[in-house]
């Protein structure tokens, strides 16, 4: 028996490679499938099955491409309906993998088709449960992402029955391998570990404690933040199918000369710059949107950018393919190429450039008392803002912004100082503001982490939000 968790930190996503006697299965693959094929080849194994725990909302799965490349069937649990060929299994159905057996365990609640896969060893003993978004370390999947005509409370009630009859009945030593870790928006209280055991979760997971169905429903549905807007798009793509990644890469990795790049710009395409934040602020193609590869790149792209608009890229040299692949993971298929030679070539050709002024936190502290037109724009989430912020700072959460920022709230005379927690989100926000014509702004380096250390800045808390 061989099990490998393949964890992608920027998406907090775990795929799994399972192998026995030269036969391999992949669970919840990412869209870029080369790693799974390479791993199987290196281990002299053939991929026999592709298991999907549900229709993922936070990324586009690689099941279709992987199936075409390997001939392995795509397997879903009960209640799944796809626009492509897939095996819709029955609850309790068994699949042989070498000396191992994989059992389908239908576990509705996160979604109606959600299923776990119970791996039994050669003696038939339960060894590991691949839980998808049904059970996380410290949490269960949120019940408000793909409910059809059902309410969150109705799905949570179904989840309660799943936990009671399908999860809690398993032996304590069964390993728990979820599809996500901390940072994922598919749950609200995910722990830092990426695997656990049933016994440990019985002790520590709030959702697995003895409680009535009413108490469980209240606990699971309480405090859910709004789901990122792209979740519904990705779930639909995973259900209906998509263009092959090879085709997306072929278009997206087209090198564009400066002249060609400008022709694309004239056709109202998006210009996305994926370089580091500290590099972007020093100079960029006017009108560019910044989302740097160093942060939770794909999530912010999916949350802020339209899926139906063509896109061209500015990247660091050598980062073109990574940018295209990571965009494709959340469903972007309309990349039309990248700027050959990068921003350096653009600048060397004498083309117009824009920039964002960076300031240190102590400079902000000095400017606040002396500039009556100074406005601090805090782009953190509401709960972060509530936990502490600069007095009179205006809250404009980045997760609620998009390419059409509401500018009515800003006056032309105002001097905007934009900050987030550490300096990544604020540059995204500043690029969106600049794209919409707000140029009198500065980015505060180090964000709240540096600002809160300034002794001469007045801070406030919003206890009503925190409570």
Answer positive or negative: Cα dihedral of 61, 102, 208, 174: negative
Give yes or no: residues 280 and 304 share one domain: yes
In a domain, 324, yes or no: yes
36 belongs to a structural domain: yes
Task: Say whether both 343 and 383 belong to one domain.
Answer: no
The verdict on residue 22 lying in a domain is: yes
Sheet holding 196-197, edge to edge: 94-97, 100-106, 115-120, 126-132, 175-178, 196-197
Tens digits of per-residue pLDDT, 83-131? Answer: 999 999 999 999 999 999 999 999 999 999 999 999 999 999 999 999 9
**From 50-64, 334-348, 357-371, 408-422, the region with the lowest mean pLDDT:** 408-422
pLDDT at 389 > cutoff 80 = yes
Domain check: are 223 and 314 in the same one? Answer: no
277 in the same domain as 405:
no
340 and 395 belong to one structural domain: no
pLDDT for res 407: 61
**Would the pLDDT of 465 be above 60?**
no
Dihedral angle sign, alpha carbons of residues 95, 72, 74, 234? positive
Mind listing the pLDDT tens digit for each residue in 167-185? 999 999 999 999 999 877 7
Are 390 and 335 part of one and the same domain? no
Same domain, 50 and 155: yes
One domain, residues 186 and 43: yes
Residues 69 and 167 reside in one and the same domain: yes
> Which pLDDT does position 188 carry in this prediction?
74
Domain that holds residue 378: 357-466
Tell me if 425 is assigned to some domain: yes
- Write the pLDDT tens digit of every residue in 443-457: 999 999 999 999 999
Weakest mean pLDDT among 38-52, 116-130, 134-148, 304-318: 134-148
User: Same structural domain for residues 278 and 361?
Assistant: no
Specify whether 363 is located in the same domain as 344: no
- Are 328 and 462 within one domain? no
| pTM: predicted TM-score of the whole model, two decimal places | 0.92
pLDDT attached to residue 466: 46
- 151 vs 250 pLDDT, higher one: 250
Q: Which of 320, 348, 376 is the last residue of a domain?
A: 348
Which residue has tokens 């710009």? 265
How far is the C-alpha of 414 from the C-alpha of 425, rounded, in Å? 21
Task: Evaluate whether residue 397 is within a structural domain.
Answer: yes
Q: At residue 467, does pLDDT exceed 60?
A: no
Tell me the pLDDT of the chain averaged across its residues.
94
Single residue among 232, 258, 279 that ends a domain in this structure: 232
**Ramachandran quadrant class, 268 (left: phi over 0; alpha: psi -120 to 50; beta: rest):** left
Q: Is residue 338 part of a domain?
A: yes
CATH code, 332: 3.40.250.10
> Which domain CATH number covers 223?
3.60.15.10
Question: Could you say which of 307, 330, 348 is where a domain stops?
Answer: 348
Q: At 3, is the pLDDT very low, low, confident or very high (cuts 50, 70, 90)?
A: very high
Query: Buried b vs exposed e over 309-329: b needs ≥16 C-beta within 10 Å?
Result: eebbbbbbeebbeebbbbbbb
Q: Is residue 162 part of a domain?
A: yes
Domain count, the chain: 3
Within a domain: residue 269? Answer: yes
């Amino acid at each position: 028996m061989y099990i490998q968790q393949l964890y992608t930190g920027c998406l907090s996503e775990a795929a799994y490679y399972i192998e026995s006697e030269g036969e391999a299965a992949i669970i919840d693959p990412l869209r870029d499938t080369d790693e799974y094929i390479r791993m199987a080849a290196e281990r002299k194994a053939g991929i026999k099955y592709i298991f999907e725990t549900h229709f993922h909302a936070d990324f586009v799965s690689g099941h279709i491409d992987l199936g075409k490349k390997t001939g392995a069937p795509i397997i879903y649990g009960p209640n799944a309906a796809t626009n492509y060929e897939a095996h819709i299994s029955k609850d309790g159905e068994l699949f042989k993998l070498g000396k191992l057996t994989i059992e389908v365990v239908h576990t509705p609640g996160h979604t109606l088709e959600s299923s776990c896969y119970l791996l039994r060893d050669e003696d038939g003993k339960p060894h590991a449960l691949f839980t998808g978004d049904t059970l996380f370390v410290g949490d269960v999947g949120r019940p408000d992402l793909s409910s059809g005509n059902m309410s969150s409370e109705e799905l949570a009630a179904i989840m309660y029955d799943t936990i009671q009859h399908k999860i809690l009945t398993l032996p304590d030593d069964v390993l728990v391998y979820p599809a996500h870790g901390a940072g994922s928006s598919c749950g609200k209280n995910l722990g830092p570990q990426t695997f656990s055991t049933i016994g440990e979760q019985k002790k520590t997971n709030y959702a697995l404690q003895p409680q009535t169905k009413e108490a469980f429903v209240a606990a699971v549905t309480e405090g859910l933040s709004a789901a990122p807007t792209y979740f519904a798009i990705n779930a639909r793509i995973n259900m209906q199918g998509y263009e092959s990644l090879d085709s997306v890469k072929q278009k997206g990795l087209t090198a564009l000369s400066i002249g060609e790049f400008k022709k694309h710009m004239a056709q109202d395409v998006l210009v996305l710059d994926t370089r580091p934040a500290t590099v972007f602020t020093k100079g960029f193609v006017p009108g560019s949107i910044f989302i740097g590869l160093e942060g939770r790149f794909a999530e912010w792209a999916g949350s802020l950018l339209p899926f139906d608009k063509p896109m061209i890229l500015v990247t660091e040299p050598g980062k073109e393919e990574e940018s295209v692949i990571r965009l494709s993971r959340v469903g972007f298929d309309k990349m039309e190429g990248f700027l050959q030679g990068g921003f350096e070539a653009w600048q060397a050709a004498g083309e117009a450039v824009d920039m964002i002024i960076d300031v240190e936190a102590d400079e902000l502290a000095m400017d606040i008392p002396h500039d009556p037109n100074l406005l601090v724009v805090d782009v953190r989430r509401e709960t972060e803002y509530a936990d502490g912020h600069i007095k009179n700072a205006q809250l404009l959460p980045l997760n609620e912004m998009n390419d059409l920022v509401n500018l009515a709230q800003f006056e032309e005379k105002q001097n905007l100082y934009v900050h987030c927690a550490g300096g990544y989100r604020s540059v995204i926000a500043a690029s969106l503001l600049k794209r919409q014509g707000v140029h009198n702004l500065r980015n505060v380096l180090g964000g709240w982490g540096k600002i809160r250390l300034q002794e001469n800045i007045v801070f406030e808390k919003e206890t009503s939000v925190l409570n």
